[in-house]
Structures are given as C-alpha cells and as structure tokens.
Structure 1
C-alpha cells in the first residue's frame, strides 16, 4: 500500500480547476437580468417584460453551453452539467485528528465494542501515525473486517465514522454484483448515473468519506450482453491503490477526480469467496462473537442511551442468558430486542 506524503496531501485538488470555471446558468441569467434592469431603470424583477426574460434566458443558456465546451464538458447534458458545476473543484478534506483525539476515539471504541479489539487497535495506531505525519485530512488504510454474521461489523464502522465525524456511505454488495452502482455508469446507458461514491462526495462536499461495502463476499459476478464477466472486486481495485485512485476518471461525468483520500471498509463472512488481488491489497482483520460479558456491557450502554427502564434491561439480559452459556447471540439480535423494547415503551397508551 502506498504511503501518503506531505506533498501529495498539501497539493490535493479533487477535480481539475476548469470545472469550477464554468458558471451556473442561473448565475449568468441573474447577472444579465440585473444588467438589463440597471440599463432600463427597472426596479423589480417582476417588471421585466416576458419577452425580455425569455431572451435573457436564451442568452444565458448559450453562454453556459459555450463555457462548458471551452472547458471540456460540452459532452454533458444540462442536468448533469448543473450537478458538477455546483461543486467546487477544491472540495475540502475532513480534517485530520490530533494524537489526543485519536487516543480518545480508540478508548471509546474499546469501551463500546471490546470484542472488535483488533480493528480498534488498528485504527487507533493509524490515526496516531497520521497525526504524527501531519496529514492534511482524515484517512484510514482500507480494511476488510471478516467474521461471522451478526458480530457488529457494520455497527462498528458506523460508530467509527460518527466518532471521527466523517460522512459514511453504506452499500450492500449483493444489490450490485458489478459495483457499477458505487462507481457509476457511462452516459448513454438507460440507467446511467454518477454512482454512490460521487453522490456522497457531492452531497457532503467532503472528499474523504468512508465507503462501507457490506458483505462483499456475497457480491458474485454480473455478465454483460457481450458475455464479459464483471465483479465488484475488480471494480474496486483501482481505488485501493493510491496512485490509480488519484487520477480516477468518473465514467458518468468523464472528469478526473482524486479519490485517494477515500477510506474503504468492507465486511465479509467468508474470505474464501474474495479474490486474491483484493486480499493482497487489503489484508483482512478477523473478528469473532462478543463474549457474554461484552454483550451485557453493550446492552447496558445502549439501554441507557435509549432511556430504557431497568425492568426492560433485566428482561433482555434474562432472554440472552436463557439461550445458554455456549450460544452465540449476535449483536443483530440484541439490537432488535433493544429496539423492540424502545418501541413498546414509546407507544401511546390506549384508554
């Protein structure tokens, strides 16, 4: 895995500057309208004759299209063009964390989910290293968290994202075997779209979100009409190498974007279903079920957050313990029980 350097972080620019040099059509129209009103001593926009408004709109459209052509985006249709010109080329990075804050987050993760201690220690060390290195933004090395279903892998990722205050985009790998829904598809397809990764960055205006790919081992493959097989693992490989991620071209917008600061976290139940190239680039972290003591602590903390009475907490403890000392109660089951108790206690009383 490539190591980030001080130079590559400080020179970061998400998209070419030419993208931000294209004004929005609405801004051009506003300037033209204001110029016309000043020229004709018109006080209110509603008093501009409809014929003049239509002419101003047409001139604005032509200027907007000409600016797009000059800056290499003439291939985009109006709706797609409006989406990208509204995003600054220097989309900021979510800031890095101090070593003290890294220690606090590491301690919080260990307190909340101690059975995930391998992942907790990994990100804690990575955050401290990034702080010492002076990175320009938050970034954690890509991870595959492997373990049995229901141990809280996805819950851990979302908790981590919440603590570091970075946007997270969750995606179920089974919903798009080829991964096109994540990275986007070329214009001209019936379902062409920028993809969840670009959508997340544009919506949050943060260039280093966490991308959570759930159950990547179940993604499988998809086949094109030409008989070519595509897999999600193959789709993600360019993002897992810093050098290639820095100059990734969005298939929808056909614009180069720097995705090297995106953190990719994947969950899996069965590592044998993953390709060798993926495992070589992202060595997995293996986790297992929480112990009974871990579950009791998790139940107590979550119940306190939900404001559940002690009677409800005791009932959940009894249900878990009634399964037997050797049972493997999943975190998913515990969360359902907590949510159900909260729903019952929050429901209005019938009179």
Structure 2
C-alpha cells in the first residue's frame, strides 16, 4: 500500500561532501602563493602562460613563516567548513548514519477527505470495538486533508482498556492502513526514555533511540510510535543523580511546536519530529502522569464480547488466507462454546489463528 508523500527537510545540518585534507589545502595555497610571487618577479610572465609546475626557483618563493601561516589558514578553513555543516562535533561513523537525511525525507499525506474516510472504514471493519479510537484518527486525517498539510497528523492518543482487547494490534493495523513505518516501545521492559530518544555520548551504552533509528532506517519522517503500558514506566537515575523518565522524554515530542526543533541526545543535532504520530496504551488511568494526559486524547475503551472476537477471528482468518476447512473449524470452537468468555481475549484468538495457520501449512504425511 502506498500513499502520496511530501519531501521535508528533517534537520538543519548541511552535507558539504567529502572535506579535503589539510595537506591538500596547504598544497593549493602554496601553489597559489608561488604563482603570485613568480608573476611579481617577472613582468614578462602571465598567469595564462605560466605553468605552475615549472615555476623558476619555486623553493625560494616560500619560506618557513609562509608555510606556518598557510598551515594555520588551512586548519581554520576546515574548521569553518565543518561548523557550517552543523556536524563538526560528529565522527565519521555518526555522519554516515545521518546520510539518509541528505535532501530531506518523505512524510505520508492524505490528499482528500474521501481517502481519510476509506482508511477509517477499513480500520473500523477490522476492529469495530475500537470505534472511538478510529473516529479520533479519522477526524485528524480529514483535518489534514482539509488544511492541505504536507503530512498526516492526529492528536496523540492514550488507549485505556483491559489487557487483550487489541490496543497494540489496532495501532499496528493503523500504521498499515496509513502506509507509514511503526516502532514499538515497551515501557516496562527497558528504560523507556533511553529506548525512545537514546542516550548521550559518554554513557557506556550510548546510542540513538528507536525514534531516530526508525526515521533513519526507514527513511521516513512520519512514523507511528506505539508506547505500550505507558502508565507502568519507571525512572532511571544516573550516577550523578540526574533523573530520566519516559514522560520527560515524551512531553517535548507530543507538542508540535517543540517537536519541530527536537534535539537528539545522541547526535546532538535538531530533528523535525512534528510529523511523528503517537499511540500509547494503558491498562488503567492509574499511574498516568497529568502532564501526559493534558497533551493527549485519553480514551477509555470497553472490553470485548465473544461475538466481537468471533468476527475478528473470521476477518483475520480470511486476511491470512486460511483454507475454508481450517476457518470453519475455528468458527466451530466459538459456536459450540468450548471456550468460556473469561478465557477469551484478542491474544487468545491470535494464538488460535497462528496454530490454525501452522496446521494448514503443514505438509501432508505419507
């Protein structure tokens, strides 16, 4: 699935190309000075007729003070050239990692309200119990089309509901229908702030976070970031006593104005992250920081009914192209009441689909 895209400048850094070495610059300046002095010594010579490689007495034309001055000027020139790029503080490996930013990166856009309607309809058909979340995204997509935005954008979402109702699955399907890359942050599985935005150089495991990594590896400036169980994130304290939380890392990225000039802790350069969209999940509102709630649309979602799960299993089974006998057997499990309502969740149904798919693809025994 593809969508129209717009190319945007993601960072103010400038790619100047391969910088010449100090030795090359010194040779150029020395040759220029020799030529200039040779022309002054002999009025019969002209720059056109003079072969710079056959200058008379060329060794005597430049003395030790001249060489020292040329060396200083060559170093200063390289310093100014590096500062102009905004990458003077980076080593060659870091500059290679940033190479995808040359010329800008695309963001997906919604051209018409009808296109927004089609996305919402397709998502709702797959997971109708997520209607409130789908509707919120739908309004954002229609607004993006009406305002003629270069990319698509909707308010950051926090989906609150019991485990197993498909909050993360819905977010991944949303990324599929939007035709944008997605990355997932497990707020409880690792230091969330470091996983999201990375760590500064100087830390033992310094690296760019998943956000920047996704932008660079997918070469797309508008991915969807999914943060699971955001209410359970903890905090990390450095040896110097500084405190790092996922909420602190998220807040500047959730505000579009600050996201436009967000600075990566690892590369220490600015990125335009204003076209990144956010879907966070939580099992309850308890533990959700107030600053986070104030910047997001928080939606309380209902639990699933057996009929909704059966419908999901049928739709997902057809999407996976399960053979009719396998799909029919799966439907029989629901219809005969072999599984109690308390045992049902989207995770359970997904495992049942995985098992049915494995059995359907198993080669026949001779």
Quickly name the TM-score band, shorter chain normalised. Answer: 0.7 to 0.9
Per-residue deviation at 1:169? Answer: 1.2
Q: CA RMSD in A?
A: 2.5
Q: Secondary structure at the match of 2:259?
A: helix
Structure 1 counterpart of 2:183, from 169, 177, 189: 169
Per-residue deviation at 1:327? Answer: 2.9
Aligned to 2:10: 14
Aligned to 1:107: 121
Aligned to 2:17: 23
Mean CA deviation greater in 238-247 or 219-228:
219-228
What CA distance in whole angstroms lies between the structure 1 residues aligned with 2:225 and 2:191?
16
**C-alpha contact 2:132 2:299 (8 A) present in aligned 1:** yes
Mean CA deviation greater in 309-318 or 203-212:
309-318
Aligned to 2:48: none
What CA distance in whole angstroms lies between the structure 1 residues aligned with 2:103 and 2:226?
25
Per-residue deviation at 1:104? Answer: 0.9
Per-residue deviation at 1:89? Answer: 5.1
Q: Which runs of 5+ in 2 are unaligned?
A: 1-5, 25-76
Structure 1 counterpart of 2:171, from 157, 166, 171: 157
What CA distance in whole angstroms lies between the structure 2 residues aligned with 1:296 and 1:123?
25
TM-score (norm 1): 0.80
Matched, 1:322 2:338: yes
Aligned to 2:356: 341
Structure 2 counterpart of 1:206, from 207, 212, 220: 220
Aligned to 1:350: 365
**C-alpha contact 1:99 1:127 (8 A) present in aligned 2:** yes
Deviations 1:62-95 (Å, cap 9, x if unpaired)? x998843442322111111111134225222222
**C-alpha contact 2:7 2:105 (8 A) present in aligned 1:** no
What CA distance in whole angstroms lies between the structure 2 residues aligned with 1:86 and 1:151?
37
What CA distance in whole angstroms lies between the structure 2 residues aligned with 1:262 and 1:340?
35
Q: Check 1:344–1:145 CA distance in 2 against 1; reply closer, same or farther (3 A cut).
A: same
What CA distance in whole angstroms lies between the structure 1 residues aligned with 2:85 and 2:148?
34
What CA distance in whole angstroms lies between the structure 2 residues aligned with 1:206 and 1:160?
16
**C-alpha contact 1:23 1:85 (8 A) present in aligned 2:** no
Per-residue deviation at 1:151? Answer: 0.5
Q: Secondary structure at the match of 1:334?
A: helix
Matched, 1:255 2:269: yes
Per-residue deviation at 1:197? Answer: 0.7
**C-alpha contact 1:222 1:230 (8 A) present in aligned 2:** yes
**C-alpha contact 1:24 1:82 (8 A) present in aligned 2:** no
Q: Secondary structure at the match of 2:212?
A: helix
Aligned to 1:197: 211
**C-alpha contact 1:23 1:64 (8 A) present in aligned 2:** no
Q: Check 1:70–1:312 CA distance in 2 against 1; reply closer, same or farther (3 A cut).
A: same
Q: Check 1:11–1:305 CA distance in 2 against 1; reply closer, same or farther (3 A cut).
A: closer
Q: Secondary structure at the match of 1:175?
A: coil
Aligned to 2:313: 299
Q: Check 1:189–1:64 CA distance in 2 against 1; reply closer, same or farther (3 A cut).
A: farther
Mean CA deviation greater in 79-88 or 188-197:
79-88
Q: Secondary structure at the match of 2:101?
A: coil
Aligned to 2:158: 144
What CA distance in whole angstroms lies between the structure 2 residues aligned with 1:152 and 1:173?
17
Per-residue deviation at 1:24? Answer: 4.9
Q: Secondary structure at the match of 2:226?
A: strand
